[in-house]
Amino acid sequence: MCGIAGLIHFNKSHNSDPETVRNMTNAIRHRGPDDDGFFIENNIALGMRRLSIIDLPGGHQPMTNEDGTVWLVFNGEIYNFRELRSELTAKGHKFKTNSDSEVIIHQYEESGQDCVSYFNGMFAFCIYDKKKNSLLLARDRMGVKPLYYSANRQSFAFASEIKSLVKSKLTGREVDTEALYDYMTFRFVPAPKTMLKGVNKLPPARTLTVNLNDGSASIAKYWEIPTAAESGSISFAEATDELSALFKDSVEKRLISDVPLGVLLSGGLDSTCVTAAMHEIGISRIKTFSVGFSEGGIFDESPYAEEASRHHGIENNKIIIGLNEFREYLGDFAYDIDEPIADLASIPLYFVSKLARKDVKVVLSGEGSDELFAGYDFDRIALALERIKMVHAVPKILRDSLPKAVLSPFGFKGLLEKLDRFNAPVSDYARQRLFHITNIFGEKDKLVLGLSGNNSFEKIKSLYAGSGNLDPINQILYVYSKSWLPEDLLMKADKMTMANSLELRVPFLDYRLVEFAFSLPSAYKVRDGAGGFSTKHILRNAFKGKIPGSILNRKKQGFPVPAYSWIKGPLKAYAKEILLDRGRSGFFDAKETANLFAALDSPDAGAPEKLWSMIVFELWHKKYINSYE
């Protein structure tokens, strides 16, 4: 795991400044405190910071091939590097190290740009090819590792984090107003934009090729989540067995390490499944780490984590935080998160990562399970679908004509529109409703606040348009996996763990497991039973008897954080200071902001959630726009 950066000028006579690329890597020293390295030659400057995980003495970067014509900087892990190394050795490639980094170089020599399709891992890398005078940048299939870039007519720069790109001096300090407009709805900025104008992030499963002769660039997609109609050929029992085998293999691949590793154990189903799989593989001394809030009750899930640990005879390490810790970290959070993400769970994730880093360098976690196997509130969505199917049991001629004949004379326009939605084909249900996990500020809310832009949900509509022949529930999961998962969950996970020099691995997002999950009918994921619909049915079935029943059957509740109640009380004065006092960004209408504070006690206004998104932006603006050094 590393932080990578580079600055390249298209004019070969324009030498790169070593000091600049060193400043870029110093800005991300937290990503790799163990080592640094540079390749600087004329107009080319590549740099890295290394967190040593595999081949501790031999994995130094930048790394090159035998004749020095291919150079690599790489952030991440290639979990199948040993198999690829054997295949490449058989084809005559010579290896100098035991690192996974060198496999990337030789696979590139063998397969060119298509090398990425061979890698099972999480990665963001840049290859400089001297012979072709080109760059190849790539990001892993699901977007576990971030990669940012910026360019003008003379130069191109890339980095693992925005704070590093700022040091390249290719970027100004200006907010991208379209990105802000979308952020206010989603609480994250959808790729390829970022909040900083002129800085882009490479979307997942993409390569970016830059021709250094003329500065031209092209982006290509090398993988896609399957969107064909789900297979009906595999039985539920067979699918459960295959899921168990695939997940166990995915976890085992992510145990490759020359340093200690552990698990971020929330006490929920997903991280407990990871712990159970490690135990089944034979890892007896598993270190687990949990976090809770001093408010207790629903804000402290550590008792479930302790129960899961006891079940497997291992020790759980936990940290309890409260208002003071939360408040004191907010300023640094705005810097660490790199671009605004208004996900409250980021804060406890930072603290549990800090705890884990005292004992280990690598942790596994359960991100991605909900997006593959239908967690969250998919029980309610499945129930709504069943009701629509009941409506469709009525002959179409009656569904088309009867409601209009009865209701039109009396008005009832809203009811008729709702009935029209129910009357649409079941296969279009998700596309019509445009389900998305976040909708903090609606379009009218944003206009009132003083913002303007194109309808943010047009981006969600385009994702649904790409969901192919999947059934409605799998369509929603597809969209979540393309937006919420990489832009919120994985981005915050990377930034909060790496702020503590901790590598995070996510076994649920092995691409083989993703492809398998999207081949399954949604009936295997959300199952109707005596107690109503149950979510993640196939995953629960696969781990029946392997984890405590209280966790196996526990309903998903997200990571509970008491900050919304704090904004109504002990954090209210601080929030007003950030949003209403002098020094604010000026993007939000002051009168409407004051109205949101006045609406804090109204249960339907969503004021705490809206104010939190605004607070995160203002704190980020202060760090990256007003006073970045």
Active site residues: 2
Q: Are 165 and 194 in contact (CB under 8 A)?
A: no
Rounded CA gap, 472 and 464, in Å?
Answer: 10
Question: Between the CA atoms of 307, 309, 311 and 312, what dihedral angle is there, to the nearest 10 degrees?
Answer: 180
- Closest to 85 in 3D by CA, of 64, 106, 65: 106
Give residue 297's identity as a one-letter amino acid code.
G
Contact 315, 288 (CB under 8 A): yes
β-pair partners for 47: 5, 38
DSSP annotation of 508: G
Tokens at 519, concatenated: 């081949």
Nearest C-alpha neighbor of 547 from the set 291, 188, 276: 276
In sequence order, the β-bridge partners of residue 6 are 46, 158
CA distance to 186, 295, 296, 331, 531, per residue, from 565 (Å): 21, 11, 14, 20, 32
Alpha helices, DSSP H only, in 374-456? 378-391, 396-407, 413-423, 429-433, 443-449
- Nearest Cα neighbor of 474 from 230, 196, 158, 249 is 230
Tell which residue, 578, 577, 580, 571, has the closest CA to residue 608.
Answer: 571
Q: Which residue has the tokens 């009918």?
A: 521
